[in-house]
């Protein structure tokens, strides 16, 4: 698989050759990245991969050693203030004034960061509380909040100024399944309205919510692709058929179709799982189901486009890297 695919022409974030060295530690090595506008972009990598360093560079919180980084076409070093005005940021471990209520917390932040008229601050704060599902807890002090609620308050805080780009550093890493579900739901509700760039080491989150993913390891980008494409295994179009009965007959019919490029079969719990690679997707869409329905002596249990599990792909990429 190519390391970089489907690069957008007018990205929200564009990074090229980005390198960061901390006193002898190379945290990032010549990173190239394009984050499409309005995408939910998962920035995936194990501990120490360089995710937080990249986020700090985008936010202008640390100085780059080499390379370029622009946000909405503005250089993050030369136009740091203008860039920051367009970004909302949730740190890995957000801190709050514990005695303040959620509403007061957001009002306090809005006083500094909200660009709109002051008379609209209350409305904006209520809107953000609604988006993250905290309306009913708005007037409770933050020190009574659960981990998931704190994280959602952090999201509301990052959203107060209606940013065009939300940067979230491990937004769900420390949460239980319900807390993670709630945070991902908020992210999902923002799809198409704003660009979300978030770091994570949780594969399942990426599979559930991202539409594009970049995989980082040891400070180097090792893959970037739309999630659907990654899960399909690249540009190949492959169908999966799980069936039993006269498998040999089915296999020979499939292999005889001019739009089928390869058929493989393995036994799984008394069934045969066929992996059918096709070179003409519309011919396959038109005929494949009809062939299965008309194939006597075959009972089909499952049929659909082949998808890998992100974990399989991730481990595969990491192993290939280790052997390179
Ligand atoms: N201020 C610093 N001084 C020296 N080394 C640093 C500094 N900050 C980060 N590093 C090193 O840079 C590398 C990348 O760290 P970074 O925090 O960006 O990784 P990460 O992918 O965000 O990891 P995690 O998932 O654990 O937060 C690590 O080897 C880390 O030890």
For the residues 157-168, what does the mean pLDDT come to? 94
Ligand 1 pocket, mutate which of 18, 19, 52, 217 (most atoms under 8 A from CB) = 52
The mean pLDDT value of the chain amounts to 89
Instruction: Find the largest Cα–Cα distance for the chain.
Output: 73
SS3 258: coil
* Chain centre distance of CA 97: 30
Q: Whose CA is nearest to atom 5 of ligand 1?
A: 22
Give the pLDDT score at 225.
Answer: 87
Render the burial of 239-271: b for 16+ CB within 10 Å, e for the rest: bebbbbeebeebbebbeebebbeebebeeeeeb
Residues 6+ positions from 305 with CB-CB distance below 8 Å: 232, 237, 238, 239, 240
Which tokens go with 167? 């940067």
Using one digit for the tens of pLDDT, what is the confidence trace for 198-254?
999 888 888 889 999 999 998 999 889 888 888 776 677 889 999 999 889 999 999
Q: Is the Cα dihedral 147, 150, 156, 160 positive or negative?
A: negative
Contact status, residue 160 vs residue 124, Cβ threshold 8 Å? yes
**pLDDT reading at 308 higher than 80:** no
Cα–ligand 1 centroid distance for 22 (angstroms): 9
Give the pLDDT score at 196.
Answer: 97
Taking the CA of residue 49 as reference, the ligand 1 atom at the shortest distance is 21
Question: What is the band of 7 on the pLDDT scale with cuts at 50, 70, 90?
Answer: low
Ligand 1 environment, Cβ below 6 A:
22, 25, 27, 45, 47-53, 201
Question: What is the band of 9 on the pLDDT scale with cuts at 50, 70, 90?
Answer: low
Taking the CA of residue 23 as reference, the ligand 1 atom at the shortest distance is 4
Domains, in order of start, for the chain: 13-232 (3.40.50.300), 237-307 (3.30.70.260)
Using one digit for the tens of pLDDT, what is the confidence trace for 26-53?
999 999 999 999 999 999 988 889 999 9
Residue percentage of the chain with pLDDT more than 70: 95
1-5, 111-115, 257-261, 307-311 — which one is most confidently predicted on average?
257-261
pTM assigned to the model: 0.82
* Residue length of the chain: 324
Cα–ligand 1 centroid distance for 41 (angstroms): 20
Question: What is the band of 4 on the pLDDT scale with cuts at 50, 70, 90?
Answer: very low
**pLDDT reading at 3 higher than 50:** no
């Amino acid at each position: 698989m190519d390391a970089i695919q489907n690069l957008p022409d007018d990205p929200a974030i564009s990074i090229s050759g980005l390198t960061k060295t901390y006193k002898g530690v190379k945290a990032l090595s010549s990173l190239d990245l394009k984050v499409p506008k309005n995408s939910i972009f998962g920035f995936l990598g194990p501990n120490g991969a360089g995710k937080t360093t990249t986020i700090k560079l985008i936010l202008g919180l640390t100085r780059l050693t080499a390379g370029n980084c622009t946000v909405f076409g503005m250089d993050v070093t030369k136009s740091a203030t203008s860039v920051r005005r367009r970004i909302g940021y949730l740190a890995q471990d957000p801190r709050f004034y514990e005695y303040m209520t959620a509403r007061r917390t957001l009002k306090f932040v809005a006083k500094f960061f909200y660009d709109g008229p002051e008379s609209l601050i209350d409305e904006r704060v209520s809107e953000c509380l609604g988006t993250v599902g905290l309306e009913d807890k708005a007037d409770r002090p933050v020190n009574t909040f659960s981990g998931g609620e704190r994280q959602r308050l952090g999201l509301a805080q990052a959203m107060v100024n209606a940013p065009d780009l939300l940067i979230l550093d491990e937004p769900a890493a420390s949460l239980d399944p319900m807390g993670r579900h709630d945070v991902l739901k908020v992210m999902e509700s923002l799809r198409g309205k704003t660009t979300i760039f978030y770091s994570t080491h949780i594969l399942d989150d990426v599979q559930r919510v991202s539409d594009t993913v970049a995989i980082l390891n040891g400070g180097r980008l090792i893959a970037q692709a739309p999630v659907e494409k990654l899960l399909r295994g690249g540009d190949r179009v492959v169908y999966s058929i799980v069936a039993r009965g006269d498998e040999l007959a089915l296999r020979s019919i499939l292999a005889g179709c001019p739009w089928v490029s390869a058929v493989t079969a393995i036994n799984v719990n008394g069934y045969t799982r066929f992996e059918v690679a096709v070179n003409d997707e519309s011919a396959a869409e038109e005929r494949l189901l009809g062939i299965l329905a008309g194939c006597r002596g075959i009972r089909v249990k499952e049929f659909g486009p082949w998808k890998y599990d992100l974990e399989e792909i991730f481990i595969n990429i990491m192993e290939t890297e280790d052997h390179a």
